Chains A and B, each alone.
Chain A
Amino acid sequence: MSRVINIAPITRIEGHASIAIKLDEKGNVADSKVHYQSLRGFEKFIEGKPAEEVPRIVNRICGICPWHHHMASNKAVDLCFGVTVPPAGRKLRELMQIISHGEDKILHFFFLAAPDFVMGPDADYGVRNVIGVAKAAPELATKAVQMRYKAKMILEKCSGKAIHPHAAVAGGFCKPLLEAERQEFLPQIRELLDFSLFTLGFAKAEVFPKYLDAVKVLGVINTGFIGTVDEQGALNVFGGNLRIMKPDGTFVEFDVQNYTDYIGEAVTPFSYGKYPYAKCWNEGFSLDIDNPKGIYRANCLARINVADKMATPHAQAELEEFRAAFGRPAQLTLLYHWARLIEDVYAYERAIELLEDPEITDTNVRAKVEPKAGRGVGCVEAPRGTLIHDYSTDDKGLITRANLIVGTTHNLGPIHMSVHQAARALIKDGEVNEGILNKIEMAVRAYDP
């Protein structure tokens, strides 16, 4: 008898989604759907609001990555108002964003993903969680909690508030960094860099080899990729040009101000979330895993695929090792976990560069701003992908129109496809157990949605 399996909610992800798997008479997968359940309507309700207030509103889109919404939004507002941020203001913004990148990766790896690998995908759900990990490896868990807390406290101290920040302001940053603070933070960031190198080493020695078979099959799909690079083609999460890469590795590079020429968003009947796709490939949109159209992926694996190199030495060495093993572009979905830890290393290396730059304590951190009519597209690489805030303002500087493409949404199509691939491969003849269903969710968690 045909039946439907509802995996609801998808757990250990940031957000609201469920999976419905339809089995046919023989108990094989006839169809599967990932339902994205949230719709809040920020695009509408920021209309009419003073633009300089919006970075303090849209950060509430996501409590894990509020800094990235805050930064993309501030960039868009600066462009609407035609203001140039002083160098120290720009560097403080980047410092906050890069530290929050690093902190986020510790959170995902240890709190959300690790239970599947440390406790095993088939372990009982009562222990397959961060509490189980803390009991199984108390020293490691304590260290991870301490390190993440350290990063959060730097953010808190520098900005006043780490969750839903208000520190970036129209024209710059709220207050200068004091020399005493710089000296206090530098050794802490060096410690975080050491921990990121330790984590990656640990994962390469203890985690990835054990699961190499799963890495080769679970959720594997073939897609393009999107990410941001600097003028030298190196990965940059704070800004630069966008690249959209085809599955064969060829790519186009463009200014985000022209993003509407390159990215479209499809709508399906079964999800509030929209599905960005590569409009510039002129092939339309299809989620068919055997013949996908327009599908590209975002987030860490995508970023290291589109980048020619990493801008910092340890991260570059890791990228070379990764590329030697998996090629470019690397397509295996579970490699997101590996790529995430390479970016973690980059994050702290970049934070050290910024803190060692004498200009970062310059007291000129904010330009005075005049509200006016304009349009601006602000873009950063959020942990979960390329994040675009596009605003228009009227002559009072109030928002008249907003379009947002949020990092995770680029991966909604790919997640749907990876789930279908995993379900089809794992469910045979009606045989379903908790371990199988959890493995299907692992294909989702790799994307850290």
Chain B
Amino acid sequence: MAVKVAEEWLNACSGCEISIVDLGERLLAVLDLVEFVHIPVLLDHKYYGQLGEGKHINIPEATVGIISGSIRNHEHLEVAEEMRRKCQIIIALGTCATHGGIPALANSYRNQEILDRYYHTETTDKVDEYPSEGIPHLLDSVYALDEKIKVDIYLPGCAPHPDQVFAALAGLLAGELPKLPDRSVCDQCPTIREGKGQVKQLRRFLEAPQYGAPDEPIDKMRCLLEQGFLCMGSVTKAGCGGDKIVPRCIAARVPCRGCYGPVQHDGNQLLQMLNALASNGIDIHSLPDYVSLLRFSGAHKLLRPGHKQKEA
């Protein structure tokens, strides 16, 4: 019998759902094995009944609940709690769900500051009051899922690689709880590392790295950090390359920015990166800002109002 699955997106961009669609033909195989009972991007199941007359959010019971996105407003919270009540296993899909993701950069600001800018841009008409009618009120912060509900499986990634989405679904169908290994992007990076101590100052990514001919293999390119570019591979969970392993930024000869979140679930990418740089003898003041080191993992109270640029 098909396994019942419910899926929700909260403070999310739909990239995680696209990574499910990007399973390609594997998606058709998955659709044979699962029965979606709720998934707003594909299925017209409604919160308040199909005729819209209910009073409370209602999601059907399911074995597996997949949630992408962080929790930003009261409706997200209500939906997350309903998913938890109705699903036996909750998967946090994507780095927004596991660590806040990019939208948690908002945690550096109070809601008032966010609203003040958004409703006072150069193109926006003057208003006396900000919108509030029939729309969910913002929470004080952007929360990762596990700050509000219990999470059983973490599948970070921005976006998660379709290979891992498939492996996780296949694992669950076989009765296993999938988990990404606690390895770093550097552990899977094929570039050449020659040793510490040569780079003192970091350069911003304003020029191409050195790598020889255009078709020179990635494993002949020198480590981008050793070339003097900030690369967050050492403090970032491995997996972005999927089954092909080579990290996706590195494959494009672009440095890692940490999109799978910290290597250990409760790690702090900012502190770990500053430590890594300092222990390599690199002047951390050569970084133009520090907050960006938490750009994918600012939930769990790591980013707070007042954390604007260099105040770590």
B95 to A, closest residue via Cβ: A60
* CB-defined contacts of B41 to chain A, threshold 8 Å: 11-14, 112
Q: Identify which of A111, A161, A269 contacts B129 (C-beta below 8 A).
A: A269
Contact in complex: A434, B51 (CB < 8 Å):
yes
Q: 8 Å CB contacts to B: which residues of A119-149?
A: 125, 128-131, 134, 141-142, 145-146, 148-149
Within 8 A of B (CB), among A388-406: 390, 396-398, 403, 405
When the two chains form their complex, are residues A60 and B103 in contact, meaning their CB atoms are under 8 A apart?
yes
The segment out of B14-22, B166-174, B175-183, B184-192 that lies at the interface is B14-22
Given contacts A41-B109, A45-B106, A145-B28, contact A50 B289 (CB under 8 A): yes
Q: Specify which chain A residues have a CB less than 8 angstroms from the CB of B135 in the assembled complex.
A: 35-37, 270-272
**Shortest beta-carbon distance from B42 to chain A in Å:** 5
Once the chains are docked, how many angstroms separate the CA of A56 from the CA of B50?
A: 39
Q: Residue B1 at the A interface, CB < 8 A?
A: no
A3 touches B288 (CB 8 A): no
Select B118's contact among A44, A130, A159, A396, beta carbons within 8 Å. Answer: A44
Q: Is the CB–CB distance between A53 and B31 below 8 Å?
A: no
Shortest B308–chain A CB gap in Å is 6
Query: CB-defined interface of B99-120 with A at 8 Å, one 1/0 digit per residue?
Result: 0011101101100011101110
B109–A174 touching, CB < 8 Å? no
Q: Cβ of B214 and Cβ of A175 under 8 Å apart?
A: yes
Q: Identify which of residues 245-276 in chain A touch chain B, using a CB-to-CB cut-off of 8 Å.
A: 259-260, 263-272, 274, 276
Q: Are A9 and B40 in contact (CB under 8 A)?
A: yes
Q: Which of B46, B205, B257 contacts A9 (CB 8 A)?
A: B46
For the complex, give the distance between the alpha carbons of A13 and B204 in Å: 38
Q: Do A12 and B42 touch across chains, with their CB atoms under 8 A apart?
A: yes
* Known A37-B75, A166-B249: A366·B21 in contact at CB below 8 Å: no
Q: A131-B42, A145-B25, A146-B24 are in contact. Are A178 and B52 (CB under 8 A)?
A: no
Please tell me the size bucket of the interface on A. 35 or more
Residues of B within 8 A of A53 (CB): 205, 257, 292
- The answer to whether A260 and B123 touch across the interface, beta carbons within 8 angstroms, is yes
Write the nearest CB–CB distance from A87 to chain B, whole angstroms. 16
- What is the chain A residue whose CB lies nearest that of B11? A40
Contact A111 B42 (CB under 8 A): yes
B46–A369 CB distance below 8 A: no
Pairwise interchain contact A11-B109, C-beta atoms closer than 8 A: no
With a cutoff of 8 Å between Cβ atoms, the chain B residues found around residue A60 in the complex are 13, 15, 101-103, 158
Q: With A and B bound together, what is the CA distance between A16 and B44 in angstroms?
A: 13
The answer to whether B106 touches A56, judged by C-beta atoms less than 8 angstroms apart, is no
Given known contacts A8-B48, A142-B25, A49 and B292 CB-to-CB distance under 8 angstroms: yes
Distance to closest chain B CB from A395 (angstroms):
12
Question: Would you list which residues of chain A between 220 and 237 have a CB under 8 Å from chain B?
Answer: none
Instruction: Name the contact of A260 in the complex, choosing from B42, B73, B122 (C-beta under 8 A).
Output: B122
Distance between Cα atoms of A285 and B102 in the complex (Å): 33
CA distance A272 to B44 in the complex (A): 23
Q: How far is the CA of A53 from the CA of B119 in the complex (A)?
A: 24
Q: How far is the CB of A335 from chain B (nearest CB, A)?
A: 23
Contacting residues, chain B, for A11 (C-beta < 8 A): 40-46
B134, A63: Cβ atoms closer than 8 Å: no
Establish whether residues A8 and B47, one from each chain, have CB atoms under 8 Å apart when the complex forms: yes
**Bound Cα distance from A362 to B65, whole angstroms:** 48
A215 within 8 A of B: no
For the complex, what is the distance from the CA of A149 to the CA of B72, rounded to whole Å?
32
Complex Cα gap A269–B128 (Å): 10
Contact between chains at A270 and B50 (CB < 8 Å): no
* Choice from B47, B103, B133, B204 contacting A50 with Cβ under 8 Å: B204
Within 8 A of A (CB), among B234-260: 240, 248-254, 257, 259
- Name A39's contact: one of B44, B114, B257, B288 (CB within 8 Å): B114
Kindly list chain B residues whose C-beta atoms are within 8 Å of the C-beta of A62. Answer: 13-15
Contact partners of B205 in chain A: CB under 8 A = 52-53, 169-170
Checking B42, B51, B159, B291 against A163 with a beta-carbon cut-off of 8 angstroms, the contacting residue is B159
Residues of B within 8 A of A41 (CB): 103, 106, 109, 114-115, 117-118
Closest approach, in angstroms, between the C-beta of B278 and any C-beta of chain A? 20
B131→A161 contact, CB < 8 A: no
Give the residue of A128, A164, A167, A267 whose beta carbon is less than 8 angstroms from that of B159.
Answer: A164
- Report yes or no: B73 in contact with A37, Cβ–Cβ below 8 A: yes
Cα distance A41–B303 in the bound complex, in angstroms: 15
B266 within 8 A of A: no
Q: Is B84 an interface residue (CB 8 A)?
A: no
Check if A187 is an interface residue, CB within 8 A of chain B. Answer: no
Which A residues lie at the B interface, using CB under 8 A? 3, 5-9, 11-16, 18, 20-21, 33, 35-41, 43-50, 52-53, 56-57, 60-64, 66, 107, 111-112, 125, 128-131, 134, 141-142, 145-146, 148-149, 152, 159-164, 166-167, 169-171, 174-176, 178, 180, 259-260, 263-272, 274, 276, 285, 363, 366, 368-371, 390, 396-398, 403, 405, 432-434, 437-438, 441
A-B pairs, 7 with minimum CB distance: A63-B15, A160-B252, A149-B24, A41-B114, A125-B44, A60-B102, A63-B14
6 interchain pairs, CB-CB under 8 A: A44-B113, A145-B24, A164-B15, A274-B118, A369-B207, A432-B51
